[in-house]
Chains A and B, each alone.
Chain A
Amino acid sequence: MKRGLAIYAAAAYLFLHLPLATLVLFSFNASRFTLWEGFSLRWYQAVFTDAEMADAMWNSVIIAIVSTIISTVAGTLAAYALWKRSSRLLSGSLYLSLVTPEIVTGISLLAFFQWTFRWLGWHLGLHTVILAHVSFSIAYVAIVVAARLRTFDASLEEAAMDLGATEWRAFRRVTLPAISPGVIAAGLLALTISFDDYVITSLVAGVDSTTLPMVIYAMARRGANPSINAISALIVVIFGAVILISERLREA
């Protein structure tokens, strides 16, 4: 039984990892086709010299960084306040934002932006993407930080306040440093979610705010192109590193 289980597990791990592994392997293929013709870095070169890809990458980085900073601050503060005293309304809204299908979040934001912009004369662009990303990342941040707060001993904060610290000072000097690994882990998670999002982004992006996932999607729709393998390989490796760091911090 145990032996059979181990063999099955090996097969399951192959199923989980083989598709990405072959994708990465063929990013080093010299041929344009799916036949191995020798090692080459030409597709990486193609990625790094592609102006459209560079623009999209830059947009994605700006969006991810700005939205991560905002959602990490908002999510952490909310998680802390909810840890002190719960609010069914706010936690309910946070969970609702988590279970709402992305496509529904996307079209509702699109409808909202179209409706408000008609009065304000604004247009879709990087700012609308950032606003959208923050609204779906806050829940993720709040959940990761809340998990960290559950392991934090509330009496430490009370002790600080007994010793004369104000609430803000106790939070700033005692609680926040103690939960900071969880906060950073939450931020890294928000960063990858923002960087990866296609569905919501494609609906609320303007003409000048194409992101990397939008470029990858368009190329994938057009047909085989090993450049996608190269950019995917880079994403897999960078994401993997970020998530490993985030997991370590969460366990710390």
Chain B
Amino acid sequence: MNRLRFWFLLPAWLWLALLFLAPLAIVCVYSLLSRGTYGGVELPWTWESYRRLIDPLYGTILLRSIAISAAATAICLVMGFPLALFIARATRRKSLYLHLVILPFWTSFLVRTYAWMFLLRDTGLVNTALIGLGVLREPLPLLYNDGAVLLGLVYGFLPFMVLPLYATLERMDPALLEAAADLGARPWATLFRVVVPLANPGIWAGTLLVFIPCLGAYLTPDLLGGGKSVMVGNLVQNQFTNARDWPFGSAVSLILMLFTLAALAAFYRRAPKELL
């Protein structure tokens, strides 16, 4: 196997080493260089980009990203749990219900984000309908704010929460619910003292799968937040395109990577591997 194994692993290794790991290494190097006049980087070596990260302006953006991601994860959990419970407890058409969750998720992410622009903008469906019905005179500013970003993230990643929750709830023995009821537990008590604790591994797995992509989100805050709602991803992009400060953009990227890996490490231990 050893000779064959070499050739089997070669393409994947070549690609990952040259076009994933080497570029990351270059970002590490760039973050320690000076800013070039027309983009790019120049010597000398400097810690300047990391020093700038301490600026409250950028600290705020990082904290905002964490707060928005945490809020989106919490909303996904609250919204996703009953849905996962419904699918797990369904006696018929379980596979259909499951596919109905997966299908919109695999549709183009860009199209799904655009769908909310179509609904929420000043001339969008919601405002047009409300004005047409006489509820409003002026369109409500529904798009280009934190609420729209949060909505877009929840919509985008809800299936990531539902699937692991479903997987744990599905394995739950229904006899436990009967036992709780026989012992006099009311439905809500059964839910919070039997079902939720049993779903704990699924909750951690779902939290990991939602929080991490939210933290690095770029497209959702860009399209639904406009220029106002900036997350770390937008800061990175902006440094590489408009601001042309590649060293600082690289430093911000690495901080984002660091937080992503920290979140991964925090949740990974609690989430069973087969759910990820």
Interface residues of A (CB under 8 A from B): 1-2, 5-6, 8-9, 12-13, 15-17, 19-20, 22-23, 26, 33-35, 70, 73-75, 77-78, 80-82, 84-85, 87, 90, 93-94, 96-97, 99-112, 114-115, 131-132, 134-136, 138, 142, 167-168, 171, 192, 195-196, 198-199, 203, 213, 216-217, 220-221, 224, 228-229, 232, 235-236, 239-240, 243-244, 247
> What is the number of contacts between chain A and chain B, taking CB atoms within 8 Å?
234
- Contact: A235 with B236, CB < 8 Å? no
A-B contact pairs, 6 of them (CB 8 A): A34-B118, A34-B124, A73-B11, A90-B13, A216-B114, A220-B114
Return B59 CB to nearest CB of chain A, in Å: 19
Determine the main DSSP class of A at the interface with B.
helix
Report which of B100, B116, B155, B257 forms a contact with A104, defined as CB distance below 8 A.
Answer: B257
**Whole-angstrom CA separation of A103 from B132 in the bound complex:** 40
- Contact: B223 with A220, CB < 8 Å? yes
Return A241 CB to nearest CB of chain B, in Å: 10
**Whole-angstrom CA separation of A5 from B82 in the bound complex:** 7
Report which of A20, A97, A103, A138 forms a contact with B111, defined as CB distance below 8 A.
Answer: A20
**Whole-angstrom CA separation of A13 from B155 in the bound complex:** 11
Residues of A within 8 A of B40 (CB): 114
B46 contacts the other chain (Cβ, under 8 Å)?
no
Q: A75 — nearest CB in chain B belongs to which residue?
A: B12
Residues of A within 8 A of B87 (CB): 9
- Contact: B9 with A87, CB < 8 Å? yes
- Contact: A228 with B89, CB < 8 Å? no
Return A237 CB to nearest CB of chain B, in Å: 9
User: Given A34-B118, A224-B121, 9 more contacts at CB 8 Å?
Assistant: A23-B118, A35-B132, A77-B8, A78-B12, A99-B261, A101-B256, A104-B253, A235-B108, A243-B103
Q: A109 — nearest CB in chain B belongs to which residue?
A: B23
Interface residues of B (CB under 8 A from A): 1, 4-5, 7-9, 11-13, 15-17, 19-24, 26-27, 30, 40, 79, 82-83, 85-87, 89, 97, 99-104, 106-112, 114-119, 121, 123-125, 128, 132, 155, 158-159, 187, 212-213, 215-219, 223, 233, 236-237, 240, 246, 249-250, 253, 256-257, 260-261, 264
- Contact: A247 with B102, CB < 8 Å? yes
- Contact: A5 with B85, CB < 8 Å? yes
- Contact: B117 with A220, CB < 8 Å? yes
- Contact: A228 with B114, CB < 8 Å? yes
Residues of A within 8 A of B236 (CB): 103-104, 107
**Whole-angstrom CA separation of A142 from B256 in the bound complex:** 25
- Contact: A232 with B15, CB < 8 Å? no
Report which of A19, A80, A106, A232 forms a contact with B155, defined as CB distance below 8 A.
Answer: A19
- Contact: A111 with B250, CB < 8 Å? yes
- Contact: A244 with B103, CB < 8 Å? yes
